[in-house]
Structure 1
C-alpha cells in the first residue's frame, strides 16, 4: 500500500541525465497504458528551484522520471509547461507529457531503413518465415527505424535497445510500409501469444535504471489469474463497473494482391485473391453472432512462399481486435496481499468477479495512479480485451481513430 510520498520524481536534462529530484508536488497523475503511449501530469509550486529545473528555457528538452520504491513506472519528456498566479498570490506550475513510448508513435516503418527516403531500394519492410524469435524481430525493427542502427537523421538520441531474451515464437512473416512503429510492434506482438491462457509480449521505452539514456524494452506478461483476484467478497474493490459489447468482426475476408480493374480503386474490387478467416469467440456472451468484415491486405503477394503465414497473421489480427469487448473499470483497495506494481502489473492477466457475468479473466490494459499530497493515492484500473474502449477515450473519438487508420492503410499499402 502506497502513500503520495512513496513516489519519487526525478528531473532529467536533454541528455537523460538526472539533474534534480522533486518532493514538493501537490499532485501527480500517471495514466499507464499497455502497449500504447502513456501520459503524465504534475502540479507543483513555482519556486525558483522548480522553475529552474522545469522551465523549457532553463532545461530545454527536459523530462521527468517517476519511480515507486526503485521501480521506474514511466519516464517521458515535458511537452506542456504552464505557469499560473492566483488572486491570493500563490504561484503554480502545471506540467504534462507522454511517456517515452511516444517515440515509437513518432517514427514510421520505412521499407528500407538503411537508406534515405529518396533512395529506397525495396517497396516493403519484409520478414519471411523468420528463424528469429518475436522479441528479436521487434527489437530489430526499433533498432533500424529509430535506434542506434537507424540512419543518422532518424536516430533518437540516447535511445538504446535492450538485448533480446528470445521470447515469443519463430516463423513469423509480415510486411510494413510507413505504418507507425508502435502499430507494427502491437501487431507483431499479437502474433505470438505466450503462456496458458495466452498473454502477449509487452513493450515500452523508459529511462534506464542507474544510467543516463532511455531503452526500448520487451517484457513478458504474467498469468496471475489465481493470485490476483478482485471481488466484493475479498473486500478489495472500492467501486467498479463493467460492460460487454458484441464483436465487430467474427469472420474476416482478406483481399490479397492487386489486379487492374478499369475505373475502380476499391480494395474489395481489385483484390487478386480472397481468403476467409473465422474465430471462435473466447467470450461466450454472444454465441453464434456473425459479423463479416473485409480487410485489405494488398501488400501480401498470394504467390509468395510465405503467403499463408502472412495471411494467418493478418487474419488473426483483424479478428482479435474485432472480438467481443469486455471492460471492467475498477477502483481497487490495496491490501498486503495485492498491490499494484508489487503483485501485478500492466499486461498481467487477473481475475475480477462481477455480478450477472460471473468471472472475467483478462489483461490489465490501463492503470491511472493519482498521488495527491493531501488525500493520498487513488488507483483506477481497466481490465479487458484489446477491443476495450478506454474510459479516457470517447466512442466518437475511437470511431474517428478507426476511420483515420483505414485511410492511412489505403494510402500506405500500394
Structure 2
C-alpha cells in the first residue's frame, strides 16, 4: 500500500536541526529492531542536488530522519559515507548508520552515575523493591547515565528523556555494574508485561518532532493476535519460512552471593547459596525437553531483604531467553485492513499460520523495509521469541562497516 515516495527523508545537522530533505534517493533500506539498535542504508546519485547536505565535509556529525506518512520510523547519525564511480562515469553515494538507540549501547551503567569514575563508592547501581513503575525506573537509568541528569562528560548532547506515564509494574529489584544501558533496559522491560491481555514495554531514542533534539521514549506494544493474522488463505502472505530450535535452558541454577572456601593451594570462591528455577515450555515442538544451566549472580546477597525479588528477575530472564526459539520470516502482502505502520507495529504480538505446526503467536522482533525508486516497497518481517531476534545487518551495511574497519586499522597502524 506504500510507494517509495511515501517515505520522507530529512537531513539534520550536529545540533539535530533539520536542514533539508532528500527526495531523490534511489534506494533506502531500514531494519527496525524491537528493543535493540536499528540500522539504515541510503543510496543516491553523486550528482544529486542534495549531495552537499549529506557530505561529512559540509555537514559533520549529521544524521537522517526517516518518516512514513509523517510518522518517524527512526532517526540516526551518519556513521559511514561511501563514494563509488562506475566505468561509464556514473557515480553514487552510499550512506549508512545505526538509529539513535545506539547511544544506549554506547553508555554503561555506572554504580554511582552522579560521580566521576575515580570516585565510585558503590559496587552496583542498585534498586530495591522500588515503588516506582518499570517505565520510571528505565527513564531514571537513562537520565542518570547519559541524559540531562548525567555528569557533564557523559551527557549526550541534545538528548532529553520523555516524561514517565508510570507504566509497568512496581516492586522491581535489580543490580547493574558497567553493563551497557541498552542491555539493562531490555532486561528490565522484559520483566514487566502490562495490561490484559498482556503487552510489553518497548523503548527507543528518536528525533523529536516538535523541536531540535532527540528523546528517549518508552512505548507500549499491543496484543493483535485476533486482528493481525497472516496466512496464504487470507491472501496477505507472499512467502514465509519457519524454524523451531530446541531450548538452551529450561532449568536455571542461580549461584547467589560469594564466599571463600579453603583449598589445598588457594582459597576458592563459590556461591553462598544455590537456587533453582524451572520453566514449562509453552511451545509444543519440544515437550519435556530439559536443559540445565548455571548462572553466577554473585551480586545478589542471599540475606538481603529483596533477595527473592532479585533472584526471580534473574531466573526468569535466563529462562525467557533460553526458551524454545521460534522464528518466522515472512513477506506480507499489504491489504486495506492490514498494513505495517497503520494496523500493526514493531513489538506487537501477531498470529501467523504455517504448515506442520499450530498457529504461531509471537512478537514482531524485526521489520526490514526497502524503498526503491524503481520497484517500490518490499517488506520482510521477523516474528518470534526473544532468542530468535536475528539482529541481522543488511549486506550493504556489512560491506561498508568492513571497509570502515579496514580504513581505521590503516590509519591507526604504527
Please report how far the alpha carbon of residue 311 of structure 1 lies from its aligned counterpart in structure 2 after TM superposition. Answer: 0.3
- Secondary structure at the counterpart of residue 260 of structure 1: strand
Please report how far the alpha carbon of residue 389 of structure 1 lies from its aligned counterpart in structure 2 after TM superposition. Answer: 4.7
* Match in the other structure for 1:27: 27
Please state if 1:152 is matched with 2:147: no
Distance in 1 between residues matched to 2:130 and 2:389, nearest whole Å: 33
Deviation per CA, 1:207-265: give whole Å up to 9, x if none: 0112100000000000101111100100001100001111100000000001113469x
* Match in the other structure for 1:303: 303
* Match in the other structure for 2:122: 122
* Match in the other structure for 1:397: none
- Secondary structure at the counterpart of residue 308 of structure 2: helix
* Match in the other structure for 1:382: 382
Distance in 2 between residues matched to 1:391 and 1:81, nearest whole Å: 22
Please report how far the alpha carbon of residue 84 of structure 1 lies from its aligned counterpart in structure 2 after TM superposition. Answer: 1.3
Cα contact 1:251–1:276 (8 A) shared by 2: yes
- Secondary structure at the counterpart of residue 316 of structure 2: helix
Within 5 Å, give how 1:180-329 maps onto structure 2: 180-262=180-262, 270-329=270-329
Cα contact 2:104–2:182 (8 A) shared by 1: yes
* Match in the other structure for 1:105: 105
Deviation per CA, 1:159-203: give whole Å up to 9, x if none: 000000010000000000000000000000011112344332000
Instruction: Quote the RMSD (CA, aligned, Å).
Output: 1.7
Cα contact 2:31–2:393 (8 A) shared by 1: no
Q: Normalising to structure 1: TM-score of the pair?
A: 0.92
Distance in 2 between residues matched to 1:164 and 1:328, nearest whole Å: 34
Q: Normalising to structure 2: TM-score of the pair?
A: 0.92
Please report how far the alpha carbon of residue 206 of structure 1 lies from its aligned counterpart in structure 2 after TM superposition. Answer: 0.6
- Secondary structure at the counterpart of residue 8 of structure 2: strand
Distance in 2 between residues matched to 1:256 and 1:127, nearest whole Å: 17
Cα contact 1:126–1:173 (8 A) shared by 2: yes
Cα contact 1:347–1:363 (8 A) shared by 2: yes
* Match in the other structure for 1:83: 83
- Secondary structure at the counterpart of residue 261 of structure 2: coil
Distance in 1 between residues matched to 2:263 and 2:234, nearest whole Å: 64
C-alpha spacing 1:391/1:232, structure 2 compared with 1 (3 Å): farther
Cα contact 1:11–1:63 (8 A) shared by 2: yes
Distance in 2 between residues matched to 1:199 and 1:33, nearest whole Å: 17
Distance in 1 between residues matched to 2:232 and 2:203, nearest whole Å: 32
Within 5 Å, give how 1:1-20 maps onto structure 2: 1-20=1-20
* Match in the other structure for 1:400: none
Cα contact 1:195–1:223 (8 A) shared by 2: no
Distance in 2 between residues matched to 1:57 and 1:295, nearest whole Å: 49
Distance in 2 between residues matched to 1:25 and 1:193, nearest whole Å: 40
Deviation per CA, 1:47-89: give whole Å up to 9, x if none: 3632310111110100000000110000000000011111111
Distance in 2 between residues matched to 1:41 and 1:391, nearest whole Å: 15
- Secondary structure at the counterpart of residue 366 of structure 1: strand
- Secondary structure at the counterpart of residue 308 of structure 1: helix
Distance in 2 between residues matched to 1:263 and 1:33, nearest whole Å: 48
The aligned length equals 393
Distance in 1 between residues matched to 2:48 and 2:332, nearest whole Å: 38
Deviation per CA, 1:103-148: give whole Å up to 9, x if none: 0000000000000000012110000000000000000000000000
Distance in 1 between residues matched to 2:137 and 2:108, nearest whole Å: 16
Distance in 2 between residues matched to 1:391 and 1:313, nearest whole Å: 24
